[in-house]
Amino acid sequence: MRLATFRTGKVFILYDADSLCDANGAPQIAPSTFDPDHWRRQGLITGEAPGRGASLFLDVGGAEWVLRPYRRGGLAARVSASRYLWTGVERSRSFHECRLTAHLFSLGLPAPRPVAAVATRHGPTYEAALVTVRLPAARALAERLHDADEALLARVGATVRRFHDAGLDHVDLNARNLLVDDAERVWLIDFDRCRLRRPGKWQAANLERLDRSLTKFNAAPAMAAIRRGYASHA
């Protein structure tokens, strides 16, 4: 994967040049790519995922993308639901997540392929969005907990361990950010604010966060099988 940057005015775009045409220095992507209304007008939105950012599923002809605008939560959302403090394009949440996702994807880990990220500057603030390739026929683990057997839960644990072994501290490890496709393969998504770290207490903190998530879905007993799968992948 070869990431390249493109700028037009106050809009900064980071994109996968291997999958998007960039002949003559003009990538096959534009600011409108990150505008939900652009896709609505064309009738190419096929659905959306739950969550703060209301990720949209896009039909791009022969493939599907996921468009996820960045949205603030908590008290910060009262000031602005979609704007963040500008400290440089490479420090924007979208560029950071796109580069991290590309790194994980390049390692052969079960992470979605990034398509592009955008950061649009508004003076001292910016808005951002990320586009990734949609994982086909994948459902959130939260939707599978009622029929998840020991083998699937063990694969969940083994998958988390693979990312941990690669140094990924996933700060929002929960049952919605783990997906299961129709081949029963487990994927991990949403690397916003995540980072690569040396081994430490953060691995246990990630697992404890997942444990709390399972409890919210009335599936606390599933964590025992996940921990066994995690341990067995050492």
Say what percent of the chain tops pLDDT 70.
Answer: 91
Do 88 and 184 share a domain, yes or no?
no
Using pLDDT thresholds of 50, 70 and 90, give the confidence band for residue 78: low
Q: How far apart are CA 192 and CA 206, in angstroms?
A: 14
pLDDT of residue 77: 46
Q: Which of 210, 232, 101 is nearest to 158 (CA)?
A: 232
Do 180 and 223 share a domain, yes or no?
yes
Is the model more confident about 60 or about 94? 94
The residue out of 116, 133, 150 marking a domain boundary is: 133
Q: What is the pLDDT of residues 24-53, one digit of tens each?
A: 444 578 999 999 999 999 999 999 886 655
**Residue 172 annotated in active site:** yes
Neighbours of 33 (CB within 10 A): 22
Do 85 and 192 share a domain, yes or no?
no
Q: How far apart are CA 62 and CA 216, in angstroms?
A: 37
**Domain span including residue 185:** 139-232
Number of domains forming the structure of the chain: 2
211 to each of 7, 33, 178, how far by Cα in Å? 42, 37, 13
Do 119 and 8 share a domain, yes or no?
yes
Do 73 and 111 share a domain, yes or no?
yes
The residue out of 102, 133, 164 marking a domain boundary is: 133
Residue 17 tokens, joined: 């040049």
Residues 6+ apart with CB under 8 A from 152: 144, 180, 184, 186
> What is this structure's pTM?
0.92
Whether 76 has a pLDDT exceeding 60, the answer reads no
Residue 80 tokens, joined: 């602005």
Q: Which of 140, 141, 188 is nearest to 168 (CA)?
A: 188
* Phi, psi torsion values for 32, nearest 5 degrees: -65, -20
Do 8 and 34 share a domain, yes or no?
yes
Whether 117 has a pLDDT exceeding 60, the answer reads yes
The residue out of 109, 133, 157 marking a domain boundary is: 133
Q: Which of 173, 103, 184 is nearest to 148 (CA)?
A: 184
Q: How far apart are CA 234 and CA 161, in angstroms?
A: 8
Do 43 and 95 share a domain, yes or no?
yes
Among 22, 35, 59, 172, the active-site one is 172
